[in-house]
């Protein structure tokens, strides 16, 4: 770390000075240091109308990260202002996902609907100030009067209603005297503003819908542009961080805060949302995939949702680290999926226990084995990255399975696995030599007859170099497992902007089920959600469907890097 050459020592609640700050943290740091906001308060305000995805993780890491680094706090607030779309199921899923990612909100869990009464009072206040009016125009009329990008809007006939009339009408809107859409409340700002958001935005609409929390207590609901800044201000949020598409709303955000009697003045700062290659991120599209059964629910391991990634086996720490890697800017970036997968492998390499599993078994008979029932106990390293993890016993008998891929009758140059007459190491065990290739009448290889060299356990054979060590499972000890192999959901780098509908670019077989892989028996007893490495194949996570003691079910989290396969596909 060294000494801090950059100016005076920072207050105790500053982040480590060696970490460079992104443009948002720089603002926060300045506000902390200047004393403007000694205790920064951020918030994560999801709308409970869908599940959280990896893009939300970026916002989560930012908001909760700042709270941690600057000894502030971060509120979790459900932005539940549209009962048409929101549901308690989503709220519960969101809380689960935030906690899983590793963030805690303590007592600071709120809902925009907590503030409905106060928001209503603010609306009355605006009316009394002559800053809001009830517009009885139809949606079409309002739209027509809004103008266009290049032409100013104009007032509707209701813009100059008296304060008394507005008060009366708005009160009756709440009382339920009118039907849906009959009136709206609008902020009175500037119909000629070049920013369309400032052309008298609607801030309340009549909607006879049952809200999942407030039930039928209200028939008018505030809109985001009104509810959000005021909720922030009521909670004493200091830095309200949101994505770029709200940049055009900031003047309105500031207007609401400035014209209502609120206890604080939060500042909105925008950053670029995350886009990932081969992924769609919009909640609307993810909902569509779920609704149309193109995936198996929000937590399908192919989904970019946090629940999907969790089920797939992505560690929370990997996602957090990924968010650190991608940084924070205002640039519309398209992040390579490889960056995420790298974080996942990096994390799992450190923590995942290794096992052996054979997905596509080819039987080997060791012809010179001491006896048909003879069994020897081998000792396999659980995690070479972690000596503490120790070793485990692995049984070896006369017959073992190896991966069919690991044998080639007529291999290309550079292939150094098993071949006729060739010798390979059975990992953690003996070296074996292929003496005979056994085929059925169709010419299909059914098994290999091999001999083993008893003098190769724990040491290299004399005078020969054995290049490959392949994984295996003893036929007499293996258990069958179902393995689900996932591929990316889309074939196109940018399914959103590709020609046609995004669903045209779905990968045809993005999940392949291997019904009867042969795995080490210990894998049958691991707890669901445990992620392990199948040596030489990849990282795999025990699925939620996995019941310890029954037939194991594993999801492939991510493959290991495979430079041989890469070289082959290059041709």
Q: Which of residues 443-462 bind RNA (CB under 7 A)?
A: 456-458
Q: Which helix (H) or strand (E) holds 564?
A: helix 563-570
Residue nearer to RNA on the CB measure, 52 or 470: 470
Question: With contact defined as beta carbons under 8 Å apart, do 473 and 520 qualify?
Answer: yes
β-pairing verdict for 353-355 and 553-559: unpaired
Q: What is the DSSP letter of 204?
A: E
Task: Give the CA distances from residue 441 to residues 259, 364, 365, 445, in Å, rounded to whole numbers and listed in that order.
Answer: 86, 19, 19, 10
CB of 432 to RNA, least distance (A): 12
Considering the rule CB under 7 A, would residue 195 count as an interface residue with RNA?
yes
Residue nearer to RNA on the CB measure, 228 or 398: 228
Active-site annotation holds for 550 = no
Considering the rule CB under 7 A, would residue 468 count as an interface residue with RNA?
yes
Q: Which of residues 413-432 bind RNA (CB under 7 A)?
A: 414-417, 425, 427-429
Q: Which of residues 18-57 bind RNA (CB under 7 A)?
A: 20, 22-23, 45, 47
Residue nearer to RNA on the CB measure, 174 or 342: 342
Q: Which of residues 261-320 bind RNA (CB under 7 A)?
A: 272
Catalytic annotation, pick one of 25, 43, 47, 188: 47
Q: Which of residues 134-153 bind RNA (CB under 7 A)?
A: 137-139, 142-143, 146, 148-150
Q: What is the dihedral of CA 308, 313, 318, 322, to 10 degrees?
A: -40
The residue within the footprint of RNA, chosen from 11, 181, 393, 548 (CB under 7 A), is 181
Region from 123-131, 291-299, 327-335, 435-443 binding RNA, contact rule CB under 7 A: 327-335
CA–CA distance, 530 with 353 (Å, rounded to integer): 9
Please, what is the angle between helix 23-34 and helix 54-69, to 10°? 20
DSSP for 469-515, written as a single string:
EE-EEETTT-EEEEEEEE--SBSSS-TTTSSS-GGGGB-TTSEEEEE
Question: With contact defined as beta carbons under 8 Å apart, do 278 and 337 qualify?
Answer: yes
Considering the rule CB under 7 A, would residue 3 count as an interface residue with RNA?
no
Considering the rule CB under 7 A, would residue 5 count as an interface residue with RNA?
no
Considering the rule CB under 7 A, would residue 334 count as an interface residue with RNA?
yes
Region from 90-98, 160-168, 380-388, 512-520 binding RNA, contact rule CB under 7 A: 380-388
Alpha-helical regions (H) of 314-441? 316-326, 337-351
Determine the size of the site formed for RNA (CB under 7 A): 92
CA–CA distance, 231 with 118 (Å, rounded to integer): 9
Q: Which helix (H) or strand (E) holds 170?
A: helix 163-175
Active-site annotation holds for 320 = no
CA–CA distance, 263 with 183 (Å, rounded to integer): 30
97 to 136: interface string for RNA, x by CB under 7 A? ----------------------------------------
Q: Which of residues 482-501 bind RNA (CB under 7 A)?
A: 497
Catalytic annotation, pick one of 43, 267, 283, 518: 283
CB of 81 to RNA, least distance (A): 4
CA–CA distance, 389 with 196 (Å, rounded to integer): 61
Q: Which of residues 515-544 bind RNA (CB under 7 A)?
A: 533, 535-536
Region from 4-12, 88-96, 287-295, 381-389 binding RNA, contact rule CB under 7 A: 381-389
Strands (E), 58-210: 73-78, 109-111, 132-135, 184-187, 202-206
Active-site annotation holds for 273 = yes
Catalytic annotation, pick one of 273, 330, 363, 404: 273
Please list the active-site residues. 47, 273, 283
């Amino acid at each position: 770390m060294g000494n801090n050459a950059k100016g005076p020592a920072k207050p105790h609640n500053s982040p480590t000075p060696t970490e460079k700050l992104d443009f948002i943290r720089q603002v926060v740091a300045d506000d902390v240091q200047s004393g403007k906001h000694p205790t920064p308060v951020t918030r994560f305000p999801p709308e409970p109308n869908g599940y959280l995805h990896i893009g939300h993780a970026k916002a989560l890491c930012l908001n909760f990260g700042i709270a941690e680094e600057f000894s502030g706090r971060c509120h979790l607030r459900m932005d539940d202002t549209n009962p048409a779309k929101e549901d308690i199921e989503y709220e519960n899923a969101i809380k689960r996902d935030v906690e899983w990612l590793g963030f805690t909100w303590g007592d600071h869990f709120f809902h925009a609907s907590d503030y409905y009464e106060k928001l209503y009072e603010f609306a009355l206040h605006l009316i009394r100030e002559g800053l809001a009016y009830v517009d009885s125009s139809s949606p079409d009329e309002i739209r027509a009067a809004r103008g266009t990008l290049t032409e100013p809007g104009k007032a509707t006939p209701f813009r100059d209603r008296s304060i008394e009339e507005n008060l009366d009408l708005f009160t009756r809107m709440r009382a339920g005297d009118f039907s849906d859409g009959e009136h709206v409340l609008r902020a009175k700002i500037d119909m000629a503003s070049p920013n369309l958001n400032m052309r008298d935005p609607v801030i309340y609409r009549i909607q006879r819908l049952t809200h999942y929390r407030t039930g039928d207590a209200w028939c008018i609901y505030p809109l985001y542009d009104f509810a959000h800044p005021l909720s922030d201000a009521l909670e004493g949020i200091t830095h309200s961080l949101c994505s770029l598409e709200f940049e055009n709303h900031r003047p309105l955000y500031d207007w609401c805060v400035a014209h209502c009697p609120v206890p604080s003045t939060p500042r909105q700062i925008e950053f670029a949302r995350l886009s990932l290659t081969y992924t769609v991120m919009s909640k609307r599209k993810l909902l569509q995939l779920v609704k149309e059964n193109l995936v198996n629910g929000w937590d399908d391991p192919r989904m970019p949702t946090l629940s999907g990634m969790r089920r797939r086996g992505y560690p929370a720490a990997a996602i957090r680290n990924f968010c650190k890697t991608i940084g924070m800017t205002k640039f519309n970036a398209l992040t390579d999926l490889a960056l995420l997968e790298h974080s996942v492998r990096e994390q799992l390499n450190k923590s995942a226990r290794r096992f052996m599993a054979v997905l596509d078994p080819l039987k080997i008979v060791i012809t010179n084995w001491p006896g048909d029932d003879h069994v020897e106990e081998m000792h396999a390293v659980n995690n070479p990255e972690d000596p503490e993890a120790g070793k485990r016993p692995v049984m070896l008998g006369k017959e073992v399975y190896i991966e069919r891929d690991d044998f080639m009758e007529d291999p290309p140059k550079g292939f150094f696995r098993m071949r006729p007459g060739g010798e390979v190491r059975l990992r953690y065990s003996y070296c074996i030599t292929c003496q005979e290739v056994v085929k059925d009448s169709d010419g299909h290889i059914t098994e290999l007859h091999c001999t083993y060299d008893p003098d190769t356990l724990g040491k290299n054979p004399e005078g020969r170099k054995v290049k490959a060590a392949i994984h295996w499972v003893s036929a007499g000890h293996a258990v069958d497992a179902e393995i689900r192999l996932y591929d990316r959901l889309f074939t196109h780098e940018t399914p959103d902007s590709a020609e046609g509908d995004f669903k045209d670019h779905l990968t045809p077989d993005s999940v392949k089920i291997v019904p009867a892989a042969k795995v080490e028996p210990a894998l049958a007893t691991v707890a669901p959600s445990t992620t392990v490495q199948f040596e030489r194949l990849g990282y795999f996570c025990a699925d939620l469907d996995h019941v310890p003691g029954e037939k194991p079910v594993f999801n492939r989290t991510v493959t290991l890097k495979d430079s041989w396969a890469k070289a082959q596909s290059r041709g």
